[in-house]
């Protein structure tokens, strides 16, 4: 079976690409601005990352965290290498919110904050809504 994360065209907008990493919105926007930082080569073991990949990952995490902070002002961030469904190295960047946020006319809440987020809850948005979130994050 082909690896969905190896495809250069992910189902959601790619916000940034570097030599080793691709940053994209997570398809599930149950928490506003959830992103994934995806290794551009196929690898299943986080411990097998090269020194260059680890170093560049820090810069990509900093970039996406600062962009999310500017766009939506989350109170906290969770970072997770889960790889339960996609056996490909990728890091989830999960903003957490003490109060409601909105993009256009769509409201987003984080009812579990500050406790554990609920990874099983899905919120799929329309293309227009996803593009509005991507534009807010990618804005200089």
Range of the domain at 14: 4-138
In tens, the pLDDT along 37-88 reads 999 999 999 999 999 999 999 999 999 999 999 999 999 999 999 877 788 9
Tens-place pLDDT, residues 2-31:
788 887 666 678 999 999 999 999 989 999
* CATH number, residue 80: 3.30.428.10
Residues 4, 25, 48, CA angle at the centre, nearest 5°?
Answer: 55
Quote the number of domains for the chain: 1
Listed in sequence order, the residues at least 6 apart from 50 whose beta carbon sits closer than 8 Å to its beta carbon are none
pTM of the model: 0.92
* C-alpha closest to that of 89 among 140, 21, 31: 21
């Amino acid at each position: 079976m082909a690896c969905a994360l190896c495809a250069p065209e992910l189902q959601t907008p790619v916000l940034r690409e570097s030599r080793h990493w691709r940053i994209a919105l997570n398809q599930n926007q149950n928490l506003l601005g959830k992103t994934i930082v995806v290794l551009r080569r196929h690898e299943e073991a986080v411990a097998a990352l090269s020194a260059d990949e680890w170093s560049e990952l820090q810069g990509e995490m900093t970039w996406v965290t600062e962009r999310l902070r500017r766009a939506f002002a989350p109170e906290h961030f969770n970072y997770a290498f889960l790889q339960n469904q996609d056996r490909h190295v990728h890091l989830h960047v999960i903003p957490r919110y003490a109060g409601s946020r909105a993009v256009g006319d769509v409201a987003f809440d984080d009812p579990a904050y500050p406790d554990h987020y609920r990874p099983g809850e899905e919120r799929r948005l329309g293309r227009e809504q996803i593009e509005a979130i991507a534009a807010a994050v990618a804005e200089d």
